[in-house]
Amino acid sequence: MKVCMLIKNSITHDARVLRSARALGEAGHEVVILGVRQNRSDAETEDLGFARGVRLDLSLRRALGLSSWQEGKPRLQRKTASAKLEKSTLPVRVRRQLRIDKGLLTDIWYLIKGIVTSVRLQADAYHVHDFRPIFIGLVAAKLRRAKLIYDAHELHLERNRSTPLSTWQKAFLKALESFAVKRCAAVVTVNDYIADYYRKISPRGRVITVMNCVDYRPAPGNKGRLRKRLGLDSRARIVLYQGYMTVNRFLHELVESVEFMPKHYVLVFMGDGPLEAGLREHVRYLGLAGRVHFLGFVPHRELLNYTVGADVGTCVFDVRFPSYQYALGNKFFEYLHAGLPMLFTRNRVYDEIFSRYRIGELMDGARPREIAKRLKTIVENKHDYDEGIPRAQLEFRWEPQARRLVDLYASLEANAKRNV
C-alpha cells in the first residue's frame, strides 16, 4: 500500500511518526510523510531511507510573491522593516485584526495545500497523526476512495493549552472529530484508556493501541556524554527533564525545587519550547545559574545517548487536564529504556504501571520542597529499582507495538483486495 502520513509539524521531530513510518516502510509499504516547513533551511523533500518526507511551505508572503523586496536582508532587519511598514500605514484596530486574520489565513492555506498535495500523492491510505490534519485526511481519503486512519497521540481537545478553547470552539471541533472517527477504517492511539474513549465514539469501529515505546537502547559507553557536555564531574547528581517546555508542567516549581536539594544536585532541561526564556529568567532570579542547565533540542537519533547519563528523570504535570489524566508520554519510555528511575505525577495510567513495576515514584501536587525530597530519595536509593526497570523494559518494547501496526495495515490491504 502507498501510505501518506499527515502531520502539522516537522517530519523529523516526532518520534512516534518516525517509528511508525519505519515499521510500515520495512514491512514493504511505500510511505510518504507530509509535514510542514518550519525553518527556511528545511528541504521541500527529504529521503529518510524508510520513507519520503514532503514539507508544505505555508508562507503567505512567498505564496503571493511579496517576499522578494526583503530577500537578502538579515531576519531581524526584515522583521523590523515589516513592523515599521505596518505601523506607519495601518490604524491600530486594523493592525490587530490583521494579526488575527494572518493565523486564520495560514490555517486556510494549510488546508488547501494539504488537500491538494495529499490527493496528488495518490495514496491508498491516509494516516492522520493527531487532530490538526484530520480534515485534510478526511477530504483526501474521500476523493481518493482511500482508507482513513486516525492516530490520536492524546485526547487533543482536552489537552494542555495556554489559551483554553471556548465552549463553541470545543463543541465544533468535537463534532468534527466524531464525524471523522466514525468514517475511519481504524483509530490508533497510545494506551487502552484513550482507546476506550474512541470506542465510545465509534462502537463498531476498529480501535487499536500502539504505545510510544522506543526502539533503541543506548550503548553503555555513552553514559559520560551528558556530563562531559555540561562540564560536570562524577560527584554531580543529574535530575533530567527532557521534552517540550510548555505550560502546566510545573517547570517553574521544578526549578524552585533545586533550592531544597543538596548542592551537588543539578537540574538539566533537554529540549525547547515557549517557556524556555521565562525559565532561564527564573533561574537567574533565584541565583541558580550554576545548578540549572539548558541543553537545548537534541535530535531524536541522539537523544537517549544523553538521557542515559542522568541519575533520575522527571515529569510533573497538572493532572486537572483530562488529557494528562490519561497521559503515557514519550518521556516515560525514554527514561525507562535509558535505565533511569523516575518521578512522575500520579494519574490512572502511571498508577497502574508503577504498581506492577518498581521503577520510580509517583506524587500528587507540585510543591518544590516535596519534589526535592522525592528526587533525593530516588537518587539515594537508585539500586532499589535495579530489578523493576529491566522487567518493565521487556514489556514496553517497540517491536510488539510495531507488529500491531503492521498487522493492521496487512488486514486493511487484504480487505481492499477482496473489495476490488
Cα-based distances in Å from 165 to 58, 161, 174, 198, 347: 24, 8, 11, 21, 23
Q: Residue 215 contacts by C-beta under 8 Å, 6 or more apart in sequence?
A: 19, 397, 398, 399, 402
pLDDT band of residue 416 (cuts 50, 70, 90) is confident
Q: Residue 170 contacts by C-beta under 8 Å, 6 or more apart in sequence?
A: 157
What are the residues facing 207 on neighbouring strands?
Answer: 187
Q: What is the CATH number of domain 2-84+106-213+399-418?
A: 3.40.50.2000
Q: What is the mean pLDDT of the chain?
A: 89
Cell of 104: 486564520
pLDDT of residue 96: 54
Distance CA 303, CA 288 (A): 25
Average pLDDT, stretch 91-99? Answer: 54
Average pLDDT, stretch 132-154? Answer: 96
pLDDT of residue 99: 54
pLDDT digits (tens, 9 = 90+) for 295-337: 999 988 888 899 999 999 999 999 888 888 998 989 999 999 9
CA torsion through residues 332, 335, 341, 344, sign: negative
Q: Residue 409 contacts by C-beta under 8 Å, 6 or more apart in sequence?
A: 1, 3, 24, 27, 29, 125
pLDDT digits (tens, 9 = 90+) for 34-89: 999 988 888 899 999 999 999 999 987 777 766 544 444 444 444 444 444 444 45
Percent of the chain surpassing pLDDT 90: 72
pLDDT digits (tens, 9 = 90+) for 78-93: 444 444 444 445 565 5
Domains 2-84+106-213+399-418 and 220-395 share a fold: yes
- For residue 367, pLDDT beyond 70: yes
pLDDT of residue 18: 94
Distance CA 366, CA 252 (A): 10
- For residue 366, pLDDT beyond 90: yes
- In the CATH hierarchy, which fold is given to the domain comprising 220-395? Rossmann fold (3.40.50)
pLDDT of residue 73: 47
Cell of 81: 522593516
- For residue 234, pLDDT beyond 70: yes
pLDDT band of residue 113 (cuts 50, 70, 90) is very high
pLDDT of residue 17: 95
Boundaries of every domain in the chain: 2-84+106-213+399-418, 220-395
pLDDT digits (tens, 9 = 90+) for 185-233: 999 999 999 999 999 999 999 999 999 998 766 655 678 899 999 999 9
Average pLDDT, stretch 368-373? Answer: 97
pLDDT of residue 185: 97
Sheet containing 292-294, strands listed edge to edge, beginning at the edge strand earlier in sequence: 292-294, 265-270, 237-242, 312-315, 342-345, 360-363
Q: What is the pTM of this model?
A: 0.86
